[in-house]
Structure 1
């Protein structure tokens, strides 16, 4: 049956998430228990519902027509990123979310077992980074080797914070060689901190790079490449959700179409820029085109071996920098889902459901 779609916005505050938890599925709604080593169900039972936090993919699914192929009820939550998705997972008001590769590490460190069910990156990731290192006016930083003694914006538990730890490692520096200034990586916080002289360096991405240089370049502001891969992009879900056979079947169906939906956006450039960047995000068409081109082409690996190997390296750097235990990256992935994205791309390519 075609999916039924509803929408809502998950607010960031704890009271709001707690309230939403009242509407979350109860134990009475749970499907049969699915063991971690059991095969994924091949059919989604009627009445199954998923709450999905994947805002850009929501629009991609709708515009491409792939949403019509989902046979379960979808509730799209306007939420992504580590802190908010983890909070919603704990409140049992979210089933699956789109994040970078750091949130699954931190949820498992903080007593919330989660697993990655889809993984992607960018083709030519060094030419299409997510972040640059913004440099404050007057700060003498031309390469990562110049970071010694500098004040650097740092957000523990988020991709930007992990990137800084990896950059320091690549530069042969440790935390004692710099001053890490903890700041939330929200909106224009980092750009404003750079412009206001609160920090010397901060990872900035998207239109922040362009707007920062446009506003403060005449004053000496710059941005430099960090030279590392920062492109991991995953879907993750609580283990408790994956143990529900009905929800696991629905997640498998979603994952199977996930890559095809993303490829549709790349094949329909003008429509996507107008729908996502202009209409949804409120950007100008020029800024939308800038972001589209900066993003580059997505890469959906058919096997996760190299992805897991790189994730292990990240875990070790972040663990050393935060004092947490070193996790086995293999344990963070549910490889039952590994072939599904490639299967969906093979069937639907970039053409959607039409």
Structure 2
């Protein structure tokens, strides 16, 4: 599983009101300009006095554990937040320059008038075999496959990866949101497992240790998980367009992408240190839970060509537009391709997958 996204799954994130828009209510939405920066050159070196604020708690820990945090060639303030809702609010307040997030927040940001860019992309080498999410099924719901979802109550979190995954699952099964009842719930902490166990919903996407914990707790009553068979692994570094429009901040962000990519590989190649230093000491999980997350996490793929990533993003945009009544747009405007090769070049020769493709269309 991409490490940046796993942090989102483990964190208790509050959904910002700007993203809690219902599927049909678009009255307050506007669109961002998504400034084209392709012709703007980033300085070759960064001024060491340049300071940026980064919301990527998992990478912060990885840099500390690997001894790299003091080698960053710029000043940094670390913010203990990640994921779409928290980072969107921080971007709007001009309080954050970089955030770890999945692909959905940048799409919703565009629709709500927040101009942002994606400056790094990570995937997994075997995303369908080792999914980030499985579909949790409530006891007595009568769901054994995706074909049984018609008419069921499904937990839905707009503006987050779980919400988009629900719409993609419905599309795969030949349904639309009108064929089910979407129950708007935040996908944080134990909200989804509790809603499933308490009969508030019939199905909900579960991630992280909840894939293991939910059936262990509710399996005796019939609670279970089923695979969805879709790739659900995109992970990004996400920034306000204003930050990468500033030459020195753009140079600092480019350097951070380099350290981020190396941290991803370090995490993958140092499982024991990661389990103890992050999952146990930082996140407060049991060693057993940490071992489970490492075992099911897959390996990082950091492509040097974003063609497939953009194609996948376009499919997601088109699906969300269709199901929410918003206007589709060109996914290319979300990616700052000046940073396209930075991550892959940083880990070239380390054994990390840096191929051009991400397996778009899975």
TM norm. shorter chain > 0.5: yes
Secondary structure at the counterpart of residue 120 of structure 2 = strand
- 1:63 maps onto 2:65 in alignment: yes
Render the CA deviation track for 1:308-332: whole Å, top value 9, x for unaligned.
Answer: 1111001111111111111211111
2:240 matched to which residue of 1?
238
2:163 matched to which residue of 1?
161
1:46 is displaced (CA, Å) by 3.1
Sort the Cα spacing of 1:137 and 1:168 in 2 relative to 1 into closer, same or farther, 3 A.
same
Sort the Cα spacing of 1:156 and 1:255 in 2 relative to 1 into closer, same or farther, 3 A.
same
Match 1:133 to one of 132, 135, 142: 135
Question: Quick check: 1:117–1:335 contact (8 Å CA) kept in 2?
Answer: yes
Q: How does 1:315-334 map to 2 (within 5 A)?
A: 315-334=317-336
1:35 is displaced (CA, Å) by 5.1
Question: Quick check: 2:262–2:346 contact (8 Å CA) kept in 1?
Answer: yes
1:22 matched to which residue of 2?
none
Sort the Cα spacing of 1:10 and 1:213 in 2 relative to 1 into closer, same or farther, 3 A.
closer
Deviates more, 1:284-293 or 1:60-69: 60-69
Which one has the largest radius of gyration? 1
TM-score, length of structure 1 as denominator length: 0.88
1:106 is displaced (CA, Å) by 0.6
Structure with higher helix content: 1
Q: How does 1:296-307 map to 2 (within 5 A)?
A: 296-307=298-309
TM-score, length of structure 2 as denominator length: 0.86
Q: How does 1:49-88 map to 2 (within 5 A)?
A: 49-88=51-90
Render the CA deviation track for 1:164-203: whole Å, top value 9, x for unaligned.
Answer: 0011111100111101001111110000000000000000
Q: How does 1:1-354 map to 2 (within 5 A)?
A: 36-346=38-348
Find the aligned partners of 1:38 and 1:339 in 2 and give their Cα distance: 16
Q: How many residues align?
A: 323
Question: Quick check: 1:134–1:204 contact (8 Å CA) kept in 2?
Answer: yes
Q: Which runs of 5+ in 1 are unaligned?
A: 1-8, 15-33
1:66 is displaced (CA, Å) by 2.4
Sort the Cα spacing of 1:246 and 1:12 in 2 relative to 1 into closer, same or farther, 3 A.
farther
Secondary structure at the counterpart of residue 330 of structure 1 = helix
1:70 is displaced (CA, Å) by 1.1
RMSD over aligned CA atoms reads 1.8
Question: Quick check: 1:260–1:349 contact (8 Å CA) kept in 2?
Answer: no
Q: Which runs of 5+ in 2 are unaligned?
A: 1-10, 17-35, 353-362
2:355 matched to which residue of 1?
none
Question: Quick check: 1:257–1:345 contact (8 Å CA) kept in 2?
Answer: no
Find the aligned partners of 2:190 and 2:12 in 1 and give their Cα distance: 21
Question: Quick check: 1:10–1:78 contact (8 Å CA) kept in 2?
Answer: no
1:68 is displaced (CA, Å) by 2.9
